[in-house]
Amino acid sequence: MTYAKQGAEALDYLPCRYGRSKLQFRGPMRPVPRDYVCFIGGSETFGRFVARPYPALVEDMTGMPCLNLGSANAGLDSFLQDATVISLARGARMVVLQLMGPQYLSNRFYTVHPRRNDRFIKANAPLRRLYPSVDFTEFSFVGHLLNRLQHVSRHKFRQVRAELQATWAERMQLALRLYGRPVLLLWMEEGQAMTRLLDRDMLARLQSDGVELLRIGSDQWVSQQGVRDMVFGAAQARAATVSPSSAYHRLVAQQLTPFVLNGLA
């Protein structure tokens, strides 16, 4: 573990853009190869505080170029609205799509930022009617909003949960249609706060010919490693402890590699 001076990022992610995309991806930027696997995901795929995130490790293990389109704080909406991402996905041999939380989608109840999908923008009329006592100007982040709504009324929150799940299922189907390639859905359990909003039935409905699911939890060895080999400044220590560790990225790469090799066969 390495500490930098207070308030400074210890790791240079070499953020980059491809084509006309407004999203910043994990660098370094590389020429798009003829054959490649496309990795799409949020902060976990971007690999905050990790020198070599799992897409880079999969490339080492398979010998196939792996294009990391991980973008910090992005959700599925960010990628569905990005023509460059869609084009790169369609040009890949296969796509590894990290499952991102249903809470980070604009929906009937609220709107999120178009690129930083963890940011809450506004409550829509149905949510204001459902929770008339809540002052929505208090919230900047989706997580804070949902925690408050659940605390105010678990009964009403069931409606919010159902809306998020329905929206997520619809957008996921859209993503699979747009990409038009074999897709491996990657559920990274470490560092994600979405398990309460997803269930096996939702995921099973997405699986079909050309679409597989890989769910990766932690294990005892990964837990014992803690933040070992993670790179962060003193000001980022708290955030680093709740992010996927270097050991977990290695575990993900090890479990992904056979699926990728099989998909390329």
pLDDT value of residue 221: 80
Distance CA 237, CA 10 (A): 11
Q: Is residue 110 part of a domain?
A: no
Q: Is residue 13 part of a domain?
A: no
Contact residues for 32 (Cβ-Cβ < 8 A; gap 6+) = 18, 67, 88, 91
Give the residue numbers spanning the domain of 251. 37-105+172-264
Q: Is residue 19 part of a domain?
A: no
Q: Is residue 130 part of a domain?
A: no
User: Closest by alpha carbon to 115, among 85, 69, 79, 167?
Assistant: 79
Alpha helices in 4-153 (DSSP H): 43-46, 54-62, 76-80, 83-90, 125-130, 142-152
19 φ/ψ sector (left φ>0, alpha ψ -120 to 50, else beta): left
pLDDT value of residue 193: 60
Q: For residues 152 and 178, is the Cβ–Cβ distance under 8 A? A: no
Q: Is residue 229 part of a domain?
A: yes
Sign of CA dihedral 168, 85, 16, 60: positive
**Number of domain units in the chain:** 1
Distance CA 142, CA 131 (A): 16
Six-digit token string for 161? 């949960």
Q: What is the CATH number of the domain that holds 243?
A: 3.40.50.1110
Matching residue, tokens 């149905």: 126
pLDDT value of residue 49: 96
Q: Is residue 66 part of a domain?
A: yes
Per-residue confidence of the chain (265 residues) as pLDDT tens digits? 444 333 445 789 999 999 999 999 999 999 999 999 999 999 999 999 999 999 999 999 999 999 999 999 999 999 999 999 999 999 999 999 999 999 999 999 999 999 999 999 999 999 999 999 999 999 999 999 999 999 999 999 999 999 999 999 999 999 999 999 999 999 998 656 655 788 888 888 888 878 999 999 888 888 889 899 999 988 888 889 889 999 999 999 999 999 999 988 8
pTM: 0.92
pLDDT value of residue 210: 85
Q: Is residue 68 part of a domain?
A: yes
Task: Determine phi and psi for 231, rounding to 5 degrees.
Answer: -120, 120
pLDDT value of residue 209: 73
pLDDT value of residue 4: 36
Q: What is the SS3 assignment for 113?
A: coil
Q: Is residue 114 part of a domain?
A: no
Half-sphere exposure of residue 237: CA atoms within 13 angstroms, side-chain side = 8
